[in-house]
A and B are shown apart, each in its own frame.
Chain A
Amino acid sequence: MSTKAKSWTTGLVLMVVYLLHVDFGAGQNGSLVWGMPVSLWYHVGYCFLVVFVMVGVVRWAWPLDEGDDR
């Protein structure tokens, strides 16, 4: 895949993750699960989703050359 295509795909993935930040349904759910409300669990889960996505982005579309990484 070309660098340009990689950049566009990465941008698209990041845009989807950004939109997932809005918690439409879960934000109104105050039921407690292991002591924390579902509304908070959603955003804690979101933080870990970002971790996994960034692992992929770093591996797949790292913007620096190998020489820069040494």
Chain B
Amino acid sequence: MILGAIIGYLILVASIGLVANRLLRGTGEDYFVASRSIGAFVLLMSLFGTHMTAFAILGASGEAYHSGVGVFALMASSSAFVVPVVFFVVGTRIWRIGKEQGFLTQVQFFRHRYGDDRFGLALFLVLVALMIPYLLIGVMGAGITLSEITEQQVPQWMGGLLVCVVIAIYVCSGGLRGTAWVNTFQTLVFGLIGVATFWVVSQRMGGLESAMQKVAGVSPDLLIRGEKLSWVKVISYTFVPLSVGMFPHMFMHWLTAKSGKAFKSTVIFYPVCIAVVWIPSVLLGVLGVVDFPGLQGPAANSVLVRMVSLHAPGLLGGLLAAGVFAAIMSSLDSQSLSLGTMFTHDVVRHYGLHDKMSEKQQVMVGRAFVLLVLTVTYLLSLVVQRSIFKLGIWSFTGFAALIPLVIAALYWKRSSRVGAWLCLLTVVVGWVYFYIQAGKIPGYTVFGLMPVVVLTVTSSLSMVLGSFFFPNAQSDH
């Protein structure tokens, strides 16, 4: 039943990509940014689906199992505020400049803004390096989820392979239009399945009120934020969602908007989408302590799967698996396409074949790179250790700390290429230093603050000081 639901679901999403292929005009702009034709609803759904990973379903419930409802404050309501503000402040302006200048990638924007080819290359390398662990999380997460949900009947390598093959089909055939359509469908799937799972499980436990009373009896500390999640930690976590301002896949989706108006719904309704997905996940994690007490460490990530197996086995288990796959694929597809786009335009076209590639060849090269990215990611997922999940969290830290780059590029005319270089170097050096420190000291913080806060503040200072002391000879903005 579970495997049947997953395979049925995967066939369905691959079909959506194949339908989108019929609308493909064969031009680079159509394949890479859907001819900038995406309307308000699909933009909201595709941006939200791209941002939410499997963590929002499995990881959030696992964290809530250990830390209680405070997880919602830490990760959900902080994103509910920060992400729409970043879309409002950064996304809208990037869309307008991208449309005016015909940009398809982040690197093209920064190269043009600071007039420095080597900076563009350095930024490209940093963005790719930060994206690799993020991609690996998706592929490895699919393998682990499928294996756990089917009680180890399906090996881990199979889940990752299935996801990579299906993504390759719909991304290569449908381009960004196909990806946006599939993401819209997948976002609706994992949102609805999360709510349905929560409803069924809480009803089987005697209703939400009664189930939560049981939690209050067993672990009352899970119903408050508590001292474990101090307000300093809560503030620290608000820096993490700043990463959306520098994710290459978010940048790519912004460029697809049909008009500036399309952003309005996204800016307004994003917090509602966050609430709909995160409330069921967090509450189900907390309810898990009643039926499955004593889960240690990462074992709690399977609490949702265990709850469904206990209270609603069969079809709901299959649907939950499909929901988790939807959350994983809706991020992985955009990430692999954005890397494919960057390789095509920032390396192949920029360094050798700028005027020599036809529109058709651009699409072919883009597809080839998407396949390459997925193949390399899949092969890496077979050899790296599970500790890569920790590296994934650090990927967000790196992207968040790069936010001064885009803010200064858009809003500060005096920001200079030296400032941009210093900002980038500060992030690279600081990231490596903090990563090593965190490896040595569990729960590492800097005066109680997460490294992302210190790194973002220092990279901002580097940008300001570099631009102040080494201004550009002539402003090119």
Contact = CB atoms under 8 A, between A and B. Distances in A.
A35 B207 CA distance: 8
B3 interface: no
Given A39-B69, A47-B271, A47-B275, A68 B96 contact: yes
B93 interface: yes
Interface in A1-36: 14, 17-18, 21-24, 27-30, 32, 34-36
B283 A36 contact: yes
A10 to B, nearest CB: 9
A46 B93 CA distance: 27
Contacts of B279: 40, 44
B267 A58 contact: yes
B73 A50 contact: no
Nearest to A65: B260
B238 interface: yes
A22 B238 CA distance: 10
Nearest to B82: A18
A13 to B, nearest CB: 11
Q: Which 5 A-B pairs have the closest CB atoms?
A: A35-B208, A30-B223, A27-B225, A64-B260, A68-B260
Interface in A42-56: 42-44, 46-48, 50-51, 54-55
B77 interface: yes
A28 to B, nearest CB: 5
Interface string B201-234: 0100001110111001000110111100001001
A36 B212 contact: yes
Contacts of A36: 208, 212, 283
Interface string B66-86: 000110110011101100110
B444 interface: no
A37 B215 CA distance: 11
B77 A22 contact: no
A27 B81 contact: no
Interface in B86-129: 88-89, 92-93, 96
Interface residues of A, number: 37
B81 A50 contact: yes
Contacts of A39: 69-70, 73, 223-225
Contacts of A70: 259, 261
B353 interface: no
Contacts of B268: 51, 54-55, 58
27 contacts: A18-B238, A21-B73, A21-B77, A23-B234, A27-B226, A30-B220, A35-B202, A35-B211, A36-B212, A37-B212, A37-B223, A39-B223, A39-B224, A40-B223, A40-B282, A40-B283, A43-B77, A44-B279, A46-B77, A47-B80, A47-B272, A50-B80, A50-B271, A51-B268, A55-B268, A63-B89, A64-B92
Contacts of B267: 54, 57-58
Q: Is the interface of B mostly helix, strand, loop or mixed?
A: helix
Given A30-B221, A40-B282, 19 more contacts: A22-B234, A22-B235, A27-B224, A28-B226, A32-B216, A35-B207, A35-B208, A35-B209, A36-B212, A40-B72, A40-B283, A42-B73, A44-B77, A48-B275, A57-B88, A58-B268, A62-B260, A64-B92, A64-B260
Contacts of B275: 44, 47-48
A62 B264 contact: yes
Contacts of B69: 37, 39-40
Contact of B73 (A18, A23, A58, A68): A23
B274 interface: yes
A20 to B, nearest CB: 9
A34 to B, nearest CB: 7
Contacts of B223: 30, 32, 37, 39-40
Nearest to A56: B268
A65 B372 CA distance: 40
A51 B271 contact: yes
A47 B238 CA distance: 14
A68 B77 contact: no
A30 B235 CA distance: 21
B92 A63 contact: yes
A55 B269 CA distance: 9
Contact of B85 (A14, A35, A44, A69): A14
Nearest to A20: B81
Contact of B224 (A29, A51, A57, A64): A29
Contacts of B260: 62, 64-65, 68-69
Nearest to A63: B92
